[in-house]
Structure 1
Amino acid sequence: MIIPARYASSRFPGKPLFPLRGADGVAKSLVQRSWEAASAIGVPASVWVATDDQRIADEVAKFGGKVVMTSPDCRNGTERCAEAADKLGDVDIVVNLQGDAPLTPVDAIAPLIDLLEQKPGCAMATPAVRCSPSTYRHLVEDQRNGRVGGTTVVFDEDQRALYFSKRVIPHLPADHDLAELPVFLHLGLYAYRTGALRDYAARPPGTLELLEGLEQLRFLETGQDIAVHPLPPLGWDPIELNNPTDVAAVEAALAERGMR
């Protein structure tokens, strides 16, 4: 499993090193919390942080994680995973746990690998959780205030992705019943075939990827299928740390889940 982490960010510089307080009040860096979430699967030795920044590498070494250094020219986490996978070698499937999503449910990983086995035509598999009313309101509030919040996804009846957006899709009328929301929040977790990763890294970003700022759209723009694993509401809001304004909500979710 690879956790891509970069220091430079227009919205939140130094985000991987930002301290987040858990249920016990102790602060840990975002990259450490992401590493602990990945290691909870039970194989910490197979978890790598891929970065181009020595400050992040030093932090990972401090809490006992493993680092693979990658080029500063990587344009996104998927390209960083592709370079890291080439350096690590001898892997058929790469799992990418995004470094800004410490609340991602790690028990969603095994179903992604199963999906790739069941759907040999898919280049990648990724989970999406049906929004609870509170998650939906959080997304709409971000959108209303011009903040880039979570990503939503729509998919077909065969659970293949049709589109990902930083806007809330599909659009819902104002009187829609929030008890039955057809809105799915995309979670920052991917399982790729290694060959698809190499092909991805060899292609330039497409128009939609550049406009939305969503790396996974390169797969769709080049005609490759993405399998979506839909999940019911989780019982907590799986908020990503996209902006400094998300810190309080993420820390509240860590406390609610008893994550130290």
Structure 2
Amino acid sequence: MHSVILIPARYPSVRFPGKPLALLTGATGEARSLIRRSWDAAREVSGVDGVYVLTDDDRIAEASRAFGAEVLMTSDAPRNGTERCAEALDLLPSMPDVVVNLQGDAPLTPPHYVEALVEAMADASVEMATPVLRTEPHHLEALRADRKAGRVGATTAIFREDGTAIYFSKEVLPFADRAAETGIPVFHHVGCYAYRPDALRRYAAWDMGPLETAEGLEQLRFLENGVPVRCVEVEARGRAFWELNNPSDIPLIEDIMRREGIA
């Protein structure tokens, strides 16, 4: 399959303005921008035919071109990364079979997460897929700590036995105390998506629904419009995963990079 990775990035943010240009210091002491580290992560994925940064901001575009990224300039109309990916379809040099949205706030995404998504798209019935990671006790506690502190952070997913998504939420689902009693796992949703181009075009034509609006989660628009979302369980393989949602996440991510030797 012909597949590409798109990294949507925007400058305005309620929680963290200018987040793509925030600096993260790795194991060697070198500070690189978040958008650079996201691009670095995308370049580690095997079997894809191109990696592009999508933005409507000249500052992000200039910084991205400076480290060698190919940039596609979109309008300022997209309200989320999926809409930005849909707009970028007409800017690509050729139409891919699979579009991967590697969100620009997840520089710790291991390449095998993305490779698992592309592999899942080999099933022609799958229109959209996204990775989920079974939480370990310390991981789950970090999710719960964010909610207790009132921080809007990571997302959890619940899905059927066949991997079809039931719901995604910024709350810890299922109810974590009861889940611990019954042994039901809590799955951290990894903010990365693979789509068919046709599914992306249909997405852009739909209005935001009440669930997407309430949760602030773009993938819920697919569920609200009856499009199944395939959750692909991935294994940590010794890699820690965390997203940069708030400024307070920077030292957490830098600590992970130092422990794992990420330059």
TM-score class, shorter: over 0.9
Q: Please point out which of 199, 206, 209 is paired with 1:206.
A: 209
Q: Distance in 2 between matches of 1:238 and 1:134?
A: 12
Q: Is the Cα–Cα contact under 8 Å of residues 131 and 181 in structure 1 kept in the other structure?
A: no
Name 1:219's counterpart in structure 2: 222
1:121 Cα shift?
Answer: 3.1
Name 2:258's counterpart in structure 1: 255
Name 1:109's counterpart in structure 2: 114
Q: Distance in 1 between matches of 2:117 and 2:236?
A: 18
**Structure 1: gaps of 5 or more residues:** none
Q: Deviations over 1:237-257 (max 9, x none)?
A: 311000001111010111111
Name 1:16's counterpart in structure 2: 20
SS at match of 1:129: strand
Q: Distance in 1 between matches of 2:192 and 2:111?
A: 9
Q: Distance in 2 between matches of 1:154 and 1:25?
A: 38
Length-normalised TM-score, structure 1? 0.94
Q: How does 1:94-133 map to 2 (within 5 A)?
A: 94-118=99-123, 120-133=124-137
Q: Is the Cα–Cα contact under 8 Å of residues 126 and 191 in structure 1 kept in the other structure?
A: yes
Q: Deviations over 1:127-158 (max 9, x none)?
A: 01001111111110000011011000000011
Q: How does 1:86-235 map to 2 (within 5 A)?
A: 86-88=90-92, 89-118=94-123, 120-173=124-177, 176=180, 182-235=185-238
**Structure 2: gaps of 5 or more residues:** none
2:42 counterpart of 1:38: yes
Q: Answer with 132-141 or 29-38: which moved more.
A: 132-141
Length-normalised TM-score, structure 2? 0.93
1:203 Cα shift?
Answer: 0.8
1:123 Cα shift?
Answer: 1.8
Structure 1 pair 212/234, CA: closer, same or farther in 2 (3 Å)?
farther
Q: Distance in 2 between matches of 1:175 and 1:50?
A: 39
SS at match of 2:129: strand
Q: Deviations over 1:146-203 (max 9, x none)?
A: 101100000001111110001100002279269x561010112111000000000111
Q: Distance in 1 between matches of 2:40 and 2:72?
A: 17
Aligned length: 258
Q: Is the Cα–Cα contact under 8 Å of residues 132 and 233 in structure 1 kept in the other structure?
A: no
Q: Is the Cα–Cα contact under 8 Å of residues 212 and 219 in structure 2 kept in the other structure?
A: yes
SS at match of 1:247: helix
Q: Is the Cα–Cα contact under 8 Å of residues 7 and 39 in structure 2 kept in the other structure?
A: yes
CA RMSD across the alignment: 1.8
